[in-house]
Amino acid sequence: MIRISLCMIVRDEERVLERCLSSIADLVDEIVIVDTGSTDRTKEIAKKFTDQIYDFQWVDDFSKARNFAFSHATMDYIMTMDADEVLENSDVKHFRSLKECLLPEIEIVRMKCVTRMEKDVDHIFDEEYRLKLFKRQREFVWEGSIHEMVRLEPVIYDSDVTITHFPQEAHEARNLENFRNQIRRGMHLNKRLHDMYAKELYLLGKESDLEEGMAFFMDSAMDERRDREEVTKACCVVARAARMTEEPVIFFKYASKVIAEKACSEICCELGHFYEDARDLEEAVTWYYKAAYKTKPIMSMTSGKLIPLRGLVHCYESMGMEEKAAQYLGALEKLEK
């Protein structure tokens, strides 16, 4: 059986830290908490679970904080969790099985991360596999019967374990501010960071966040260094921001850029919202239908079903077309079960 060090970086997480640690403490062999400047009861709560609590001066760099946390781990594998994540009771069995059966050659384990809002826990807002478990000391091996070479790519395993993420407003605000700080310093966001910023802004950003990020993503949409997927995500963010700030010329310019190449569920939803707000319900229905049945999401899973189905129900009810509304309400209820 493998032994696991849980390494977390935290700050002002008194609302959620105990819930997180209570869900995982009995399953890991060591807990390392790195605090980056809490002013609430975060460290007091952490002391209930571990005496390995370290202070780290925040330098606006999550990688440095994470590396500092990893440097204090002593077990076979290191697991990362955020304070607003939870291992649900239904996944304890899967986690124990993973510990007992993980093959020694596996160096990284991915777990499915499901995002739910605390006020709407029955609905999944996003899900994706993320790197969560890392072998602490990597063993390099030679491969190839001739022209042998050291294997550099890690062996990654997709587990059955699901981690549930309940995002907190303060956590989101901190992440968005971190992205903005990097941009102010002139840092070029690589594809991974660009996609993370776009996704977090599109899914969780307030109108003020979207308005502040609009200029960056307008530039990004014109940046020849960005691939098609990055440009599409940038255009979706700009279109959402322009719709919320009531700038229709900008809205249609960037929505059209996406549709001209390959429409996605997000941009169809934005068009549905636009026409619904304008009380052109027949046109709104067209775009909500495309979002639900003719396109696929690239950032927001709910843009592919939940949001457009709700839009279809509301529009048909507003038009007095009760049979149509009932049809999509039935599809919505099946999805929400």
Do residues 315 and 241 both lie within one domain?
yes
Do residues 32 and 84 both lie within one domain?
yes
Do residues 231 and 100 both lie within one domain?
no
> In 3-state terms, what secondary structure has residue 55?
strand
Do residues 184 and 329 both lie within one domain?
yes
CATH number of the domain encompassing residue 59:
3.90.550.10
Residue 206 CB burial class (10 angstroms; 0-12, 13-18, ≥19): middle
Domain's final residue, options 119, 150, 167: 167
Exposure of 326 in the CB half-sphere (CA atoms within 13 A): 4
Residue-level pLDDT, tens digit, the chain, 337 residues: 999 999 999 999 999 999 999 999 999 999 999 999 999 999 999 999 999 999 999 988 888 999 999 999 999 999 999 999 999 999 999 999 999 999 989 999 999 988 876 655 445 566 788 899 999 988 776 766 665 676 678 889 999 999 998 876 555 677 788 888 888 888 889 998 899 899 989 988 889 999 999 999 999 999 999 999 999 999 999 999 999 999 999 999 999 999 999 999 999 999 999 999 999 999 999 999 999 999 999 998 889 988 999 999 999 999 999 999 999 999 888 876 6
Record the pTM.
0.69
Number of domains into which the chain is organized:
2
Give, for 10, the enclosing helix (H) or strand (E).
Answer: strand 4-10
Do residues 78 and 179 both lie within one domain?
no
Domain's final residue, options 167, 194, 221: 167
Residue 27 CB burial class (10 angstroms; 0-12, 13-18, ≥19): middle
Do residues 147 and 214 both lie within one domain?
no
Do residues 95 and 211 both lie within one domain?
no
Do residues 175 and 159 both lie within one domain?
no
Do residues 183 and 124 both lie within one domain?
no
* Long-range contacts of 114-120, Cβ-Cβ distance < 8 Å, separation of 24 or more: 114/162, 114/163, 114/164, 114/165, 115/164, 115/165, 115/166, 115/167, 116/164, 116/165, 116/166, 117/166, 117/167, 118/166
Domain's final residue, options 167, 194, 215: 167
Position 185 scores a pLDDT of 86
User: For 293, which DSSP code?
Assistant: I
Do residues 204 and 239 both lie within one domain?
yes
Do residues 149 and 35 both lie within one domain?
yes
Give the bridge partners for 305, in sequence order. none
Question: Residue 95 is part of which domain span?
Answer: 4-167
Do residues 271 and 204 both lie within one domain?
yes
